[in-house]
Homo-oligomer: A and B are copies of this chain.
Amino acid sequence: MSDLRRLSINQATTRSWSIPDLVDAAATAGLGGVGLWREPVQELGVEKTAALVEDAGLVVTSLCRAGFFTMAEGAARRSALAENRAAIDEAAALGAQVLVVVAGGLPDGQSDLVAARERVVEAIGELEPHAAAAGVKLAIEPLHPMFCSDRCVVSTLDQALDIADNFDADVVGVVVDAYHVWWDPNVLGAIACAGDRIMSWQVCDWVTPLPAGVLMGRGVMGEGCIDLRLLDDAVTAAGYCGLVEVEIFNDGLDALPGADVLERVLAGYRSCLA
């Protein structure tokens, strides 16, 4: 496939675009896929979105997202797991290559990280049969440790792999997102161990200073300090042969026209990864 056929763009990167705009631009540019989010997909309609992507010759590399199930047993947990089953059904209907699982942070007012982490394993255990029946791959995404308290208690690739190892490798794997794992002294070892558990490979760049709230501070590839080629080679050597998905959360980019963002993304991809 051509260089750009290996590239997928997550819709959070070009937030000014609707799904039809995104799909059209991705297909025109010769990309291989798009990453989508549940809410805009629901707005457009799951079947309509699936047809649009397929007709454009693209794939859905990821659907964001499932998870947020770290709370103790009770109504809130039951509700979260029901929502996860709905996400699995949507991922199946879309034909998404993976459903991204972001575990969730510490429940409000709690500090028992070990218990929260155990509940992640339990939740995935509950969801695995539903995912297997639907033919959906659950990709556990470790988030940077700066999100541990409020977004994701799964903080390293090793930890995500330890969780995934409890389950069938055809159903449960991991997302390797460069932004979240680049700093890890064992990232290369973890990627090598991950092998075919790697179900999704996402890129952007690490830039400082981080903005307040730290969520919207990602850079385009080449604007920061991550050695993306090193990680890309490692992911490839581990056996991953899927697309590389660009997912950038950045308030500055959100204010730009989608075409301008895509142009920067393509330039960054060509210089850092192609």
A residues touching B (Cβ–Cβ < 8 Å)? Answer: 106, 110-113, 117, 144-146, 148-150, 155-156, 158-159, 182-185, 206, 208-214, 224-227
The 27 listed contacts between A and B (C-beta, < 8 Å) are A110-B225, A111-B226, A111-B227, A113-B183, A113-B227, A117-B185, A144-B145, A144-B146, A145-B145, A145-B183, A145-B184, A146-B146, A146-B210, A148-B182, A148-B183, A149-B206, A149-B224, A150-B208, A150-B209, A155-B184, A156-B185, A159-B185, A209-B214, A210-B210, A210-B212, A210-B213, A212-B212
The one of B111, B158, B184, B210 in contact with A225, judged by C-beta atoms closer than 8 angstroms, is: B111
Q: How far is the CA of A214 from the CA of B146 in the complex (A)?
A: 10
Q: How far is the CA of A113 from the CA of B208 in the complex (A)?
A: 16
Query: DSSP class of A's interface residues: helix, strand, loop or mixed?
Result: loop
For residue A209, which residues in chain B have a CB less than 8 angstroms away from its CB? 150, 212-214
Of chain B, the residue at the smallest CB distance from A160 is B185
Q: How far is the CA of A271 from the CA of B226 in the complex (A)?
A: 41
For residue A206, which residues in chain B have a CB less than 8 angstroms away from its CB? 149
The 9 closest A-B pairs by CB, nearest first: A148-B183, A146-B146, A111-B227, A212-B212, A145-B183, A209-B213, A159-B185, A150-B208, A149-B225
Q: Are B227 and A155 in contact (CB under 8 A)?
A: no
Of chain B, the residue at the smallest CB distance from A209 is B213
For residue A149, which residues in chain B have a CB less than 8 angstroms away from its CB? 183, 206, 208, 224-225
Of chain B, the residue at the smallest CB distance from A206 is B149
Q: How far is the CA of A233 from the CA of B224 in the complex (A)?
A: 39
Of chain B, the residue at the smallest CB distance from A181 is B145
For residue A183, which residues in chain B have a CB less than 8 angstroms away from its CB? 113, 145, 148-149, 155
Q: How far is the CA of A106 from the CA of B225 in the complex (A)?
A: 8
A214 shortest CB reach to chain B, Å: 5
A163 shortest CB reach to chain B, Å: 10
